[in-house]
Chain A
Amino acid sequence: MLNDLLSWSLITVTITKSVPLLYAALGGVFSENAGVVNICLEGIMLIGAFTAAVVAYFTENLWLGLLGAMIAGGLIGFLHAILSIKFKTDQIVGGTAINIFAVGITEYLVFVIFGQPGATPPLRVTFESFSFPLAKYFLIYMAFLMVGVTYFLLYKTPLGLRIRAVGEHPRAADTVGINVYRIRYLCVIISGILAGIGGAYLSVGEGGLFSKQMTASRGFIALAAMIFGKWKPIGTMGACLFFGFCDNLQATLQGKVPIPSEFMLMIPYLLTIIVLAGVIGRARPPASDGVPYDPSER
């Protein structure tokens, strides 16, 4: 049994399973550190996966597909930003609306464009079919590179300081001349772009097609990973790898141990609740996370 556990494939599968989570969760890190709760990561991933598959199908170019996913993700992020920043909609309500909308629009367009319900035809090329390793594993390398970039940006640059200031105390940030709205728009759009890439990974990266609801709640799991990682990029990466590991372990150990696989699949969610409840190290969100900023309020 130990051999099953400590195999090379366990490590690689863990990494590949955590990549889509990592993109979306880093998106969450950007958005929530600037003070906007992004519960629509799930919907953005779905739209990203769909756009990437459709663009790649018609152009037969994966890079254009990826670009399409980034643009579509950024646009949905922008929509979420308008709702929560300009219209001061409850951010969870707005996010939920986008999630429902995303499920509907992707299934509808699949039917309209391809004339068949449920899924696109298989793509002729995916990232898996590249022979050059840097291209083949591009999205995987990029994901871990983004962790470093996010860390550097958030903690080592003036912009990062501003982002965190806006998420902690927007009034104070405003007083010293930071444009709170602009920072928040920027971060939510970045968050959309990242979640879009995470979705693209599922369709053009490993799946080879788009099928309905193919994200299968990974957006919510990414949200959990972000909380488990305490809203910080490195911690979030650890959480994503751990959740990927749990997912993988369940598949490896199925039938070999007396614990039903469903219970092992529960572990990430149980741990998230435990961490949120503060039993093992309290997770504290940015102080103004989810609170719309109104300059006229005192």
Chain B
Amino acid sequence: MLIKQVTVEGKDFKTIFKEFMVPVVAILLALIVGSIFIKFSGRSVLEAYKALFTGALGGWLSLSKTLVETTPLIFTGLAVAFAFRCGLFNIGGEGQFIIGAIFSAYLGYTLALPGIIHIPVCLMGGIIGGGVWGALAGWLKARYGAHEVITTIMLNFIASKLGLYLVNGPMQEPTHLRPITPKISASAELWRFASPSRLNIAIFIGIMCIVLIYYILQKTTLGYEIRAVGFNPWAAEYAGITVKRNIILAMFISGALAGMAGATQVMGIAHSYNNELSAGLGFQGIAVALLGRNNPFGVGLAAFLFGALINGAIKMQSLARTPKEIIQVIQGLVIIFVAADQIARFFLQIKLNKKRQADAMHLQQEQGEKC
């Protein structure tokens, strides 16, 4: 009973506002520090940020390209956030992405099925591939107490080497000079609805996952148990929750989400697998989850923000001659400021205090006038 009372989140307006303000302040601080770097390079800050903004959100084409970048980040962000809620730090998004992508690409080019079956089958491949890779780390933690941070980093390397081996050997398209798998059949491709951009229905799958993960976490016994383990594993154990089972299960679901990122990138974007496909998306998921405060809807917003930054950066580079790598600088700063939320709270506190002082002064003045 005690756990239930503690883990039910106090969702009054004030806490929601605070939860929302810390990331916002962190983003602003990161943009300010980022502008110092831009200024230092002799470019115009205003021009750069303007190009960044129009590149990300100016017009339907820009927006659809932003959503293309957003899609995988939703999945990898949810993956990290879900594991976090169980008290686990899944750094293995990269490896789970790779295994998921390989599974789905394999099913995509070997099978010949009607689209209505082929697409779910390939997605399932991604879910199982990523899930098993994640659950492996969960099992190592539950069975042997091996810390998931180190094991997932190691599993990332192993997955990457495995991918390298497969695209250079058994799974290589013989007619290609580059190490790349054969193209998946058209029936496994996700429908692109906003040509010329590569935006595809994976974005809706992502949004569905946001709702689903929220539902699992907040409305089901499974989610309740997972949060209880994340909150206090000893208390959860005492309350009759099997901690080990939940750790493995949480890592499976987390890995499955990262695997879906891999599957949808194969089925919607690349239409084949090559070993550069993950391109740090798993790691960026950590940033997305942190910025989204491990809340599924927050993850959605954070993924959109990072998608906008990544896409806008291309225009910023061409129009304002500002290297697009500044985006990674800003991303790193955002996480530093979100993670050390005391910094953001410090700035918020100053503002609030000033406002309080101003209010108090105002009140005194009013009272003075009345007298």
* Chain A interfacial positions (CB closer than 8 Å to B): 39, 83, 87-90, 92-94, 96-105, 107-108, 111-112, 117, 217, 220, 223-224, 227, 260, 262-263, 265-266, 269-270, 272-273, 276-279
Shortest CB–CB separation between residue A231 and chain B, in angstroms? Answer: 12
Chain A residue at minimum C-beta to C-beta distance from B329:
A104
Let me know if B290 and A93 touch, CB within 8 A: yes
Collect the chain A residues with CB atoms within 8 Å of residue B157's CB: 217, 220, 266, 269
Let me know if A107 and B325 touch, CB within 8 A: yes
Is B153 an interface position by the 8 A CB rule? yes
What separation, in Å, do the CA atoms of A293 and B139 have in the docked complex? Answer: 30
Shortest CB–CB separation between residue B97 and chain A, in angstroms? Answer: 16
| 27 A–B pairs (Cβ distance < 8 Å), ordered by A | A83-B340, A87-B343, A89-B339, A90-B89, A96-B283, A99-B283, A100-B283, A101-B329, A101-B336, A102-B332, A103-B328, A104-B325, A104-B326, A104-B328, A104-B331, A105-B325, A108-B41, A108-B329, A112-B41, A224-B150, A224-B153, A224-B154, A265-B161, A269-B154, A273-B151, A276-B147, A276-B151
Let me know if B332 and A39 touch, CB within 8 A: no
Chain A residue at minimum C-beta to C-beta distance from B336:
A97
Collect the chain A residues with CB atoms within 8 Å of residue B327's CB: 104
Chain B residue at minimum C-beta to C-beta distance from A260:
B165
Let me know if A100 and B140 touch, CB within 8 A: no
What separation, in Å, do the CA atoms of A97 and B291 have in the docked complex? Answer: 12
Let me know if B335 and A97 touch, CB within 8 A: yes
Chain A residue at minimum C-beta to C-beta distance from B323:
A111
Is B216 an interface position by the 8 A CB rule? no
Let me know if B323 and A276 touch, CB within 8 A: no
What separation, in Å, do the CA atoms of A102 and B335 have in the docked complex? Answer: 13
Collect the chain B residues with CB atoms within 8 Å of residue A93's CB: 89, 286, 290, 335, 339
Chain A residue at minimum C-beta to C-beta distance from B166:
A262
Let me know if B37 and A108 touch, CB within 8 A: yes
B325 CB contact (under 8 Å) in A83, A111, A220, A266: A111
Q: Which parts of B70-84 form the interface with A (CB within 8 Å)?
A: none
Q: A262-B162, A270-B158 are in contact. Are A90 and B339 (CB under 8 A)?
A: yes
Q: A107-B323, A220-B153, A262-B161 are in contact. Are A97 and B328 (CB under 8 A)?
A: no
Chain B residue at minimum C-beta to C-beta distance from A37:
B149
The contact size tier of chain B is 35 or more
Shortest CB–CB separation between residue B147 and chain A, in angstroms? Answer: 7
Q: Can you name 19 extra interface pairs (CB under 8 A) apart from A112-B41, A266-B162? A: A83-B336, A87-B340, A93-B286, A94-B340, A96-B335, A97-B332, A101-B328, A101-B333, A105-B328, A108-B325, A111-B325, A260-B169, A262-B164, A262-B165, A266-B157, A273-B151, A273-B154, A276-B147, A278-B146
Collect the chain B residues with CB atoms within 8 Å of residue A90's CB: 89, 339
Collect the chain A residues with CB atoms within 8 Å of residue B287's CB: 96-97, 100
Let me know if B339 and A97 touch, CB within 8 A: yes
Is B144 an interface position by the 8 A CB rule? yes
Is B7 an interface position by the 8 A CB rule? no
Collect the chain B residues with CB atoms within 8 Å of residue A266's CB: 157-158, 161-162
Collect the chain B residues with CB atoms within 8 Å of residue A277's CB: 140, 143-144, 146, 151
What separation, in Å, do the CA atoms of A101 and B91 have in the docked complex? Answer: 16
Chain B residue at minimum C-beta to C-beta distance from A221:
B157
Shortest CB–CB separation between residue A186 and chain B, in angstroms? Answer: 21
